[in-house]
Amino acid sequence: MRVLITGGGTGGHINPALAIAQKVRQQDPYNEILYVGTKTGLESELIPKEGFEFKYVTAKFLRRKISIENVKTFFASVKGVMEAAKIINDFKPDIVVGTGGYVCGPVVLAASLKKVPTMIHEQNVFPGITNRMLAKVADVVAISFNEAEKYFPGQVRDKLILVGNPVRKDILNADRRKSRARLNLRSDDILIYSFGGSGGQISLNEAIIDVIKKYNGQNGISIIHVTGKKLHDGFMDKIEEEKIILDENIEIKDYMYDAATALSGADIVIGSAGAITIAEITLLGVPSILIPKTYTAENHQEYNARALEKEGAAKVILEKDLSGKELIKAIEDIIKNKNLLKTMALNSKRMGNADVENKIYESMVKLVGSKSGSNK
């Protein structure tokens, strides 16, 4: 099977695309995979590192309000469709799979116009604008939450299949004991792992300063905080301004390439409520303190976070209520109550889904088979 995968912009779109690519490669060594993204997107850095062939097309962000920028987006999209059509002609995929982000628009549209079977995957409860538009032309729309169904137009609901969110192979195979040993943690040590998505989160970076002050040098508690690459220098400047001399129990990173070790070794995850983050922490059964980003499309991260809060797997702090004091209180409430920590871990694990990749792959094979059969 020849599979063209597209998705980009943020880790929330790239990681599920990467998980699908890994599954396709693992399932059959004769399967061929091509990843299409943008030249400057995060995917252009991450995908080649994983050993997949990568090509790029022109794509621009579509604003939700009428704007002169949308005129530029229109012409960029036309160019992107033409570029994608050429790539499709050359690669001749059996199926095109899109995981969101504006690069999916021209690629999936070009595939649909060329009668290539198409599947899109929506990670969030509230679908992104690109996927809501592409749902009208895609053959199959894979969703991750039952609640997402009501946000798609009625005429496409017969295309919907519930699969969940795929996670990368390294997360699936992560071993907590080995991860904690690698991080030099004792059995009763508490590891707090905080990150604000692939690009970082300003509000979390600001609040975590007080948390670092409180636990810096404290025996039995370790913190790994990921600032985001663009925010790292500013964060370290703030650490210097506050005259904080970091002890060995505090580690600051600009980006976490080995997220599997940190996630599986953690006792608490603090972060924004991206859908893939939620899929990863529930698969591993880690309690969380979730801080939904308010500037995300249609506030979709709060929908995601509330789903975990409802099941007793997470505490939710809205950005408008976030402060160092509130974050410390939430941490203390959990780590000082071992029964609560254990219950949250069990509730998180109960929500996890380890069979997502199989469901997606089976749906891809079924779609390719049905389309090839109808063309005979």
Distance between CA atoms of residues 274 and 296, nearest Å: 10
Question: Reduced to 3 states, what is the DSSP secondary structure of residue 352?
Answer: coil
Query: What's the pLDDT at 61?
Result: 59
Percentage above 90 pLDDT, the chain: 75
Q: Is residue 79 within a helix (H) or strand (E), and if so which, with residue range?
A: helix 68-91
Q: What is the mean pLDDT of residues 108-129?
A: 93
At 1-48, the pLDDT tens digits run 999 999 998 878 898 999 999 999 999 999 999 999 999 888 999 999
Report which of residues 207 and 78 the model is more confident about.
Answer: 207
Query: What's the pLDDT at 199?
Result: 84
Query: What's the pLDDT at 67?
Result: 52
Q: Is residue 259 within a helix (H) or strand (E), and if so which, with residue range?
A: helix 259-265
Indicate whether 376 pLDDT > 80: no
Distance between CA atoms of residues 235 and 200, nearest Å: 11
At 305-316, the pLDDT tens digits run 998 999 999 999
Indicate whether 86 pLDDT > 80: yes
Query: What's the pLDDT at 234?
Result: 97
Distance between CA atoms of residues 354 and 356, nearest Å: 6
Q: What angle do CA 348, 229, 22 make, to 5 degrees?
A: 55
Distance between CA atoms of residues 33 and 94, nearest Å: 10
Query: Which residues sit in the known binding site?
Result: 10-12, 124, 168, 198, 301
Indicate whether 210 pLDDT > 90: yes
Query: What's the pLDDT at 110?
Result: 96
Distance between CA atoms of residues 265 and 147, nearest Å: 31
Query: What's the pLDDT at 69?
Result: 58
Distance between CA atoms of residues 81 and 121, nearest Å: 20
Locate 364 and state its tokens: 């891809």
Query: What's the pLDDT at 68?
Result: 55
Looking up tokens 């595939």 gives: 111
Indicate whether 65 pLDDT > 60: no
Distance between CA atoms of residues 253 and 198, nearest Å: 12
Closest by Cα among 330, 285, 325, 276 to 304: 276
Query: What's the pLDDT at 124?
Result: 87
Which strands make up the sheet holding 190-195, listed edge to edge?
A: 250-253, 221-226, 190-195, 268-271, 288-290, 314-316
Sign of CA dihedral 147, 151, 157, 163: negative
Distance between CA atoms of residues 21 and 9, nearest Å: 17
First-to-last alpha carbon distance for the chain, in angstroms, is 18
Query: What's the pLDDT at 148?
Result: 87
Least confident of 58-67, 259-268, 343-352: 58-67
Give the mean pLDDT of the chain.
Answer: 91
Percentage above 70 pLDDT, the chain: 94
Query: Which residues sit in the known binding site for UDP-N-acetyl-alpha-D-glucosamine?
Result: 10-12, 124, 168, 198, 301
The percent of the chain in helix, strand and coil, each rounded to the nearest 5, is: 50, 15, 35
Sorted by where each starts, the structural domains of the chain and their CATH numbers stand as 2-165+354-374 (3.40.50.2000), 170-351 (3.40.50.2000)
Backbone angles phi, psi at 16, to 5 degrees: -65, -35
Indicate whether 346 pLDDT > 70: yes
Indicate whether 251 pLDDT > 80: yes
Query: What's the pLDDT at 254?
Result: 95
Q: What is the mean pLDDT of residues 246-255?
A: 96
Closest by Cα among 255, 264, 107 to 183: 264
At 165-181, the pLDDT tens digits run 988 889 989 999 999 99
Q: What is the mean pLDDT of residues 132-146?
A: 93
Indicate whether 239 pLDDT > 60: yes
Name the pTM for this structure: 0.77
Q: What is the mean pLDDT of residues 327-349?
A: 97
Give bridge partners of residue 119 from the DSSP assignment: 97, 140
At 277-328, the pLDDT tens digits run 899 999 999 999 999 998 766 678 998 899 899 999 999 999 999 999 999 9
Q: What is the mean pLDDT of residues 46-75?
A: 73
Query: What's the pLDDT at 298?
Result: 66
Give bridge partners of residue 202 from the DSSP assignment: none
